[in-house]
Structure 1
């Protein structure tokens, strides 16, 4: 008689157990890359939510939204200014002098293929830039995406998320 043979009960349990342990190990490894900063002070949060920079400076906000990969850290780097990590429904804010800046995002555990995206922007005194950072999941890899948001959408994004302090910053960054 030919045909498919089934596994014995013990072999099936062993295979399932091995796959379960491997899945748990992968989740732990993924989350171990998190280096999220601490929650900002209430005064700093209140000031950030006004979306009004100090006279002569500009503000750059990076807000993370989206469900996919929400507990995994997303690295945020404003080249030459500050860097840190945020998770879902969190944001960081940098008060910067007028100039040109590059904002780069990547997942904390990039894996084999980088997940980076970047935006280069020029700001003048009084400008406020809010960037929405999300994770786009594709069949074989995930990438971070950035989208500039304005108006009520930007105000709502900052007002309804938790502010996190930068983990590395220059002396001039709020």
Structure 2
């Protein structure tokens, strides 16, 4: 573990312990003001969560025929397929932007995937959390697909001390089949 991350993890743990034990006592000692402060903190926390989730523009569920075809991992003659599947628990309800340059873009949440049928060639797959936009701290990878080939890119959110980044990993054929079989397909938004 990175020493800087270890420091923040320890500080977060210590702050949580202090908050659990000292928080009620501090708010109680403030009398009626403690209730007001507690209510303001609760409203702020709920407001922040609503703000984060309001950027979700996840595509509609794909129809059963499209899902069955996608799960076969077999592209049309002369074509190739690129799948982007999202796994991981962290930030699972928040939308993650997926952009295959010049092909399609959309958003997915935890345990969802999108599929693009493309001409053979090299494509750039870029991912970012919906509220972050496409920033350099988010991930980008180059994917080369040959005719008749299906490539599955797994994306996850990696939480760091002060921010989170998306991480991409190209899966082996066995892992790819399992991931696509156990996730929900959504349509691209554009």
* 1:25 equivalent among 33, 47, 58: 47
* 2:87 equivalent among 59, 65, 68: 65
Equivalent position of 2:142 in the other structure: 120
> Any idea what the Cα deviations from partners look like across 1:11-53, whole Å, max 9, x if unmatched?
2111111111000000000000000010001000000000111
1:15 aligns with 2:37: yes
Where structure 2 has 5 or more consecutive residues not aligned to the other structure, the ranges are 1-25
- Report deviation, 1:79: 0.3
Structure 1 stretches of 4+ moved >3 Å: none
SS in 2 for 1:94: strand
> Aligned partners of 1:31 and 1:110: how far apart in 2?
12
Equivalent position of 2:152 in the other structure: 130
- Report deviation, 1:114: 5.8
Equivalent position of 1:152 in the other structure: 174
> Any idea what the Cα deviations from partners look like across 1:102-152, whole Å, max 9, x if unmatched?
0000000017x7652011122110111100000000110000000000122
Q: Any conservation in 2 of the 1:106–1:114 contact (CA below 8 Å)? A: no
> Aligned partners of 2:188 and 2:33: how far apart in 1?
49
Equivalent position of 2:68 in the other structure: 46
Of Structure 1 and Structure 2, the greater strand share is in: 1
RMSD: 1.5
Of Structure 1 and Structure 2, the greater helix share is in: 2
> Aligned partners of 1:156 and 1:122: how far apart in 2?
21
Q: Any conservation in 2 of the 1:39–1:162 contact (CA below 8 Å)? A: yes
> Aligned partners of 1:104 and 1:17: how far apart in 2?
40
Where structure 1 has 5 or more consecutive residues not aligned to the other structure, the ranges are 1-5, 169-174
> Aligned partners of 1:34 and 1:147: how far apart in 2?
23
Q: May I ask how many residue pairs the two structures share in their alignment?
A: 163
Equivalent position of 1:171 in the other structure: none
> Aligned partners of 2:93 and 2:137: how far apart in 1?
16
- Which structure exhibits the higher relative contact order, with contacts defined as CA atoms closer than 8 Å and separated by 6 or more residues? 1
SS in 2 for 1:43: helix
> Aligned partners of 1:115 and 1:49: how far apart in 2?
31
